[in-house]
C-alpha cells in the first residue's frame, strides 16, 4: 500500500493523509504552455500511470484519467511535483510493473521543468484577514499599553509558571494549514475567546488607568485617544472616528470621564480592526492586483520579524510614505533583526518549524528542560540575528551551552566561564554561553545533534522522520494503521534492532518511505536516548557470555551515496542535499512570514531565492530580506467584491 504523498506546496504539513494529492481548489488563471502536453506527456501517463491512477483504480486518490489538456494539467498544480518526484526516484511505477525508459522519463522531466514550472507566474496570494494568534495578541497588547499583562504568581527556581495572563487565559491556537499558529484561518473566534478578550481588555484598561500619572481631563483624554486608537488599529484613523469617540467623552470629568474613556478604549480593543489583521487596508477595486500600502507592509514586517505590532519608528516611517524606498526598507529590516524582539523568530517560528516544543526532560525537571530547550533557541537566534549562512543550521562551529549541557561538549566545555550559583539556591537555570566547537564539531555541530533535539525523537525512525520532514522538507504520509509489531530476536540469533527492523520493513510499500527515513535515523545510533554520544559499545550479558551489540551507523542515501557514520552523512547533507534543505528553509520561513500555506504563485520566489542563497552561501538575513521584498509579501490580489449581507 502506498501511503505517502509529496507536493511540497500543497501537501498537508504534519499529518498528511491519503487524500492530500488532489485536495486543491486554488483560483488562478489558466495559462498557455508551449510544450505539447497532449502529444508528449499524455501518452506517457496513459502508458505507465493510468492503470492504477485513473478510471477504475485511483490509488492514493490520484486520478489522472480526467486530465486531457494542458489546461487540465494546470488545474492540478500539486500533482506534477509529486509525479516528477516519484519518477526521478524510481518509486513509480512499482517494481513489478513495466518500467519507463530513461528517455521517456526525460521527456516528462523536460516538460515539467521547462514548460510547466518555467512558466509559473509570480503572484501574490489573497491576504485573508485573520485573527491575531495568542502570542501576537500578547505582544501587541504589551506594545500598545507599555506593560505586560501578568499573573500574580511567584516564579521560584525549578518551578514552571505561566506569567502571561494572555497565554494563561486564551485557548492554545492550533497550527493552521501552513503548520504555524500565526496562520489562524482555522482557529475561529468563539464565545469563549470573546469572553477572554473582554476580560483581558478590562484587565489591561484597569491597570492602564491605575498607572496613569497626571490628571484626566478632556484635554488629556483627547490626547490619549489620538495616540492610542491609530496604534491599536496599526494605521491612521479618520477624523470621523475620533470625533465619534470624543463625543462620548464630551462634558464629562472625574469618574464619569474615566468610565466613559474605558468604555471607548474597550470598544477599540474588541473591534475586528484590532483583533484581526488586514481588514482596513484600502484596496483599489479596479485593479486585480496591487502593492499593499505602507501600513500593511509595516504590519507584515513587524509581525514577521517581531510577532508584534509596528513600533513607533516603523509606524512613523510608514506614515511618511518612505517605507517602500529600498534603502529605507532594508534599514528597517536590519534594525528589526538587530532588536532583541527578533528573538520571536527563534521562539515562535523556529520552535514551531523544528517542533522544539516537543523537547522534554526525562525527569520533568524545569532546570534541565530549560537548558535543553534554550540551546536550539539561542542557536537559531544567533543564526537569524547574526547574519549566519542558512546552511549553518545543519553544520556550525558554534553552539550554546550552560553548566547542565556542558557535559555534552568534551574539551570544548572548558571555554565556559563558571557561573556561581548564589548561596542558598539549590538548582537554577543558568544562561547559555556561546562556545566554539573545536574538538566536538563533528559530533555536535548543527541542530541535528543538539542533545534536546536528539532526545525528543525516540529511536532511529523518529529521528530519521524528523530530519526528512523538518529539514529536508519531505512530506511523508502517515504509516498505515495495521503494522505488526517488530519481532523480537529469535532464539540462537543475536540480531540487533536494526537487523530486526530491516526484516520488519522489507515489504515494498514500507520501503518507499523507510529507504529514506532509515539511513538518516540509524546514522544517529551513536547517540543514546538522552542524546549522549555512546563511547563504548553497549554490552549485554547473556548466559554468562558478554555479547556486544554493535552500533551500526552506516547507510546509503536513496541516490546511492554511502556513508559510514553521522559525520559523513552530515557532509552529504551539506553538499548533495544542500538544495533541498535550503529550499525547505525558505519555504518554511515564507509560510511563516505570509501566515499561510504556500501557493503556486509563490513558487518563482522560492526558486529565485533558493538559487540566490545557494550561489552566494546566503545568510538568514539575506533570506529574510528576500522574502520581505518578494511579490507575495509586498502585493495582494484583490478578490471579487460581493454585496454585504
Partner 1 sequence: MTRTWNTSRRHFLRGAAGALVPLPFLNIMENTAAKNLAGEVEAPLRFMTLFKPNGVHPPSWNINGGTESDFRMSPLMAPFSKHKDDLLILDNMGDFGFSSHANSARRFLAGQSNNTKAASMDQFIADKIGGDTPTRSLELTTEGLFTNQIGCSYISYDQKGDPIPRESDPQLIFDRLFRNPMGDPAQRKKMTNLLDRVSDDAKSIQRKSGREDSETLDEYFTVLRETEQRLENMGDTSAATKVDFTKLKRPLPAANLDEQVETMLDLVALAMWTDQTRCISYMLGNSNSRMIFDFLGVTEQHHYLSHFFRNFSRHNIDGLLKISLWHMEKFDYLLTKLKSYKDHNGTLLDNSIVLFGSGMGHSDNHTAQRIPIVLAGNGGGRLKTGRYLRYSENQDLSRLHLTLMRQFGVDIPSYGEATEALPGLDGGEFDQFEERPFDSWTKVEGGKLTVQGRLRMSENLDEAKVFYMDVAGQDSVRIEIEFRDFHSFNFPYHVGTPITLTGTVSEKNGRQVMSKISTLKSVFGNSKPGTRNG
Which among 269, 142, 279 has a CA at the least distance from the CA of 197? 269
Nearest CA to 435 out of 406, 393, 395 is that of 406
- Closest approach, Cβ 294 to partner 1, in A, equals 19
- Decide whether 266 or 500 has the Cβ nearer to partner 1: 266
Using the minimum distance from each CB to partner 1, give the nearer residue, 152 or 213.
152
Rounded distance, CA 282 to CA 509, Å?
52
Residues near partner 1 (CB under 8 A) are: 126, 128-131, 150-161, 165, 188-191, 193-195, 198-199, 202-203, 206-207, 210, 263, 266-267, 270-273, 276, 278-280, 283, 363-366, 422-426, 638-642, 644-645
Q: How far is the CB of 309 from partner 1 (least distance, A)?
A: 18
CB of 87 to partner 1, least distance (A): 36
Minimum gap (Å) between residue 154 Cβ and partner 1? 5
In the bound state with partner 1, the residue whose beta carbon lies nearer, of 7 and 632, is 632
d(CA 160, CA 127): 38
Looking at the Cβ atoms of 68 and 212, the one nearer to partner 1 is: 212
User: Can you tell me the distance from the alpha carbon of 392 to that of 390, in angstroms, rounded to the nearest whole number?
Assistant: 5
DSSP 111: I
If the CB atoms of residues 271 and 549 are measured against partner 1, the closer one turns out to be 271
Query: Judged by CB, which is closer to partner 1: 219, or 255?
Result: 255
E-only strand ranges, 383-538: 398-401, 433-436
- What Å distances lie between residue 196 and 109, 171, 202, 590, CA to CA? 54, 9, 10, 31
Measured in Å, how far apart are the chain's first and last C-alpha atoms? Answer: 48
The CA distances from residue 209 to 9, 204, 233, 256, in Å, are 48, 9, 20, 13
Nearest to 633 by CA among 179, 191, 123: 123
Is the C-alpha dihedral spanning 315, 320, 325, 327 positive or negative? negative
Q: Which of 596, 606, 519 is nearest to 557 (CA)?
A: 519
Answer for the pair 509, 94: CB distance below 8 angstroms, yes or no: no
User: At CA 544, angle to CA 543 and CA 546, rounded to 5?
Assistant: 105
Q: What is the DSSP letter of 59?
A: G
Of residues 424 and 485, the one with the C-beta less far from partner 1:
424
Q: Please state the closest distance from residue 634 (CB atom) to partner 1, in A.
A: 19
Map grid coordinates 511505477 to a residue: 93
Name the minimum Å distance from CB 248 to partner 1: 9
CB of 184 to partner 1, least distance (A): 10
CB of 241 to partner 1, least distance (A): 9
Identify whether the C-beta of residue 369 lies closer than 8 Å to the C-beta of residue 379.
Answer: no
Residue 36 or 162: the one with the smaller Cβ distance to partner 1 is 162
Those residues whose C-beta lies under 8 Å from the C-beta of residue 182, and which sit 6 or more positions away, are 133, 136, 176, 303, 307, 348, 592, 595
Q: Which is nearer to partner 1, 163 or 226 (CB)?
A: 163
CB of 404 to partner 1, least distance (A): 14
Which residue lies nearer to partner 1 by CB, 129 or 236?
A: 129
Contact 40, 47 (CB under 8 A): no
Residue 27 pairs with which residues in a beta bridge?
none
Q: What is the DSSP pairing of strand 562-563 with strand 545-548?
A: unpaired
Q: Shortest Cβ distance from residue 260 to partner 1 (Å)?
A: 11
Least distance to partner 1 from the beta carbon of 345, Å? 26
Query: Among residues 270 and 338, whose Cβ is nearest to partner 1?
Result: 270
- Which cell numbers in the block locate residue 97? 510493473
Q: Choose between 37 and 274: whose C-beta lies nearer to partner 1.
A: 274
Q: Cα–Cα distance between 467 and 465 in angstroms, integer? A: 5
With the C-alpha atoms ordered 455, 458, 463, 469, is the resulting torsion angle positive or negative?
Answer: negative
Continuous H helices in 388-480? 441-444, 451-456, 459-466
H or E stretch covering 311: none
Closer residue to partner 1, CB minimum distance, 168 or 434: 168
| Distance in angstroms (rounded) separating the CA atoms of residues 265 and 280 | 18
Closest contact distance (angstroms) between CB of 165 and partner 1 is 8
Amino acid at each position: 500500500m502506498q501511503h505517502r504523498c509529496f507536493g511540497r506546496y500543497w501537501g498537508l504539513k504534519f499529518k498528511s493523509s491519503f487524500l492530500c494529492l488532489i485536495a486543491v481548489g486554488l483560483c488562478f488563471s489558466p495559462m498557455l504552455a508551449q510544450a505539447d502536453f497532449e502529444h508528449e506527456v499524455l501518452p506517457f501517463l496513459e502508458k505507465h500511470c493510468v492503470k492504477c491512477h485513473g478510471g477504475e483504480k485511483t490509488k492514493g486518490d490520484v486520478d489522472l484519467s480526467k486530465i486531457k489538456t494542458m489546461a487540465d494539467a494546470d488545474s492540478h498544480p500539486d500533482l506534477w511535483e509529486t509525479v516528477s518526484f516519484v519518477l526521478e526516484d524510481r518509486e513509480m511505477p512499482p517494481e513489478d510493473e513495466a518500467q519507463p525508459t530513461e528517455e521517456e522519463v526525460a521527456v516528462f522531466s523536460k516538460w515539467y521543468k521547462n514548460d510547466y514550472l518555467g512558466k509559473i507566474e509570480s503572484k501574490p496570494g489573497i491576504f485573508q484577514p485573520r485573527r491575531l494568534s495568542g502570542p501576537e495578541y500578547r505582544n501587541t497588547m504589551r506594545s500598545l499599553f507599555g506593560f505586560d499583562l501578568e499573573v500574580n504568581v511567584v516564579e521560584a527556581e525549578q518551578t514552571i509558571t505561566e506569567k502571561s495572563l494572555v497565554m494563561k487565559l486564551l485557548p492554545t491556537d492550533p497550527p493552521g494549514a501552513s503548520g504555524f499558529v500565526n496562520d489562524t484561518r482555522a482557529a475561529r473566534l468563539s464565545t469563549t475567546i470573546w469572553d477572554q478578550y473582554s476580560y483581558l481588555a478590562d484587565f489591561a484598561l484597569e491597570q492602564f488607568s491605575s498607572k496613569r500619572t497626571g490628571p484626566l481631563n478632556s484635554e488629556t483624554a483627547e490626547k490619549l485617544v489620538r495616540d492610542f486608537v491609530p496604534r491599536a488599529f496599526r494605521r491612521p484613523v479618520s477624523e470621523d472616528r475620533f470625533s465619534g469617540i470624543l463625543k462620548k467623552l464630551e462634558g464629562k470629568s472625574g469618574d464619569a470621564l474615566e468610565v466613559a474613556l474605558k468604555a471607548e478604549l474597550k470598544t477599540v480593543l474588541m473591534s475586528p480592526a484590532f483583533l484581526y489583521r488586514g481588514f482596513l487596508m484600502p484596496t483599489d477595486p479596479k485593479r486585480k492586483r496591487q502593492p499593499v500600502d505602507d501600513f500593511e507592509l509595516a504590519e507584515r514586517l513587524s509581525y514577521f520579524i517581531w510577532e508584534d505590532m509596528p513600533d513607533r519608528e516603523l509606524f512613523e516611517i510608514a506614515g511618511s510614505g518612505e517605507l517602500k524606498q529600498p534603502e529605507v526598507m532594508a534599514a528597517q529590516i536590519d534594525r528589526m533583526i538587530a532588536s532583541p524582539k527578533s528573538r520571536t523568530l527563534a521562539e515562535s517560528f523556529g520552535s514551531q518549524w523544528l517542533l522544539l516544543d516537543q523537547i522534554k526532560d526525562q525527569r520533568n525537571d524545569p532546570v534541565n528542560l530549560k537548558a535543553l530547550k534554550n540551546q536550539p533557541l539561542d542557536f537559531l537566534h544567533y543564526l537569524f540575528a547574526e547574519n549566519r549562512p542558512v546552511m549553518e543550521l545543519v553544520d556550525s562551529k558554534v553552539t550554546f551551552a550552560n553548566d547542565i549541557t556542558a557535559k555534552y561538549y568534551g574539551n570544548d566545555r572548558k571555554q565556559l566561564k563558571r557561573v556561581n550559583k548564589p548561596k542558598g539556591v539549590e538548582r537554577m537555570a543558568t544562561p547559555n554561553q556561546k562556545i566554539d566547537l573545536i574538538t566536538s564539531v563533528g559530533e555536535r555541530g548543527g541542530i541535528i545533534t543538539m542533545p534536546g533535539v536528539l532526545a525528543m525523537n525516540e529511536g532511529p525512525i523518529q529521528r530519521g522522520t524528523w530530519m526528512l520532514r523538518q529539514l529536508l522538507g519531505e512530506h511523508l504520509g502517515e504509516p498505515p494503521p495495521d503494522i505488526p509489531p517488530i519481532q523480537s530476536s529469535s532464539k540462537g540469533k543475536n540480531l540487533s534492532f536494526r537487523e530486526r527492523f530491516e526484516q520488519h520493513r522489507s515489504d515494498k510499500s514500507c520501503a518507499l518511505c523507510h529507504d529514506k527515513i532509515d539511513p538518516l535515523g540509524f546514522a544517529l545510533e551513536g547517540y543514546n536516548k538522552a542524546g549522549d554520544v555512546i563511547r563504548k559499545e553497549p554490552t549485554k550479558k547473556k548466559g554468562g557470555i558478554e555479547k556486544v551489540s554493535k552500533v551500526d551507523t552506516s547507510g546509503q542515501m536513496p541516490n546511492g551515496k554511502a556513508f559510514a557514520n553521522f559525520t559523513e552523512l552530515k557532509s552529504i547533507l551539506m553538499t548533495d542535499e544542500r538544495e533541498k534543505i535550503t529550499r525547505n528553509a525558505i519555504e518554511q520561513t515564507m509560510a511563516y512570514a505570509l501566515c499561510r500555506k504556500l501557493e503556486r504563485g509563490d513558487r518563482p520566489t522560492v526558486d529565485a531565492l533558493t538559487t540566490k542563497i545557494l550561489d552566494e552561501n546566503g545568510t538568514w538575513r539575506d533570506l529574510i530580506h528576500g522574502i520581505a521584498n518578494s511579490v507575495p509579501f509586498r502585493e495582494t490580489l484583490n478578490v471579487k467584491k460581493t454585496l454585504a449581507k
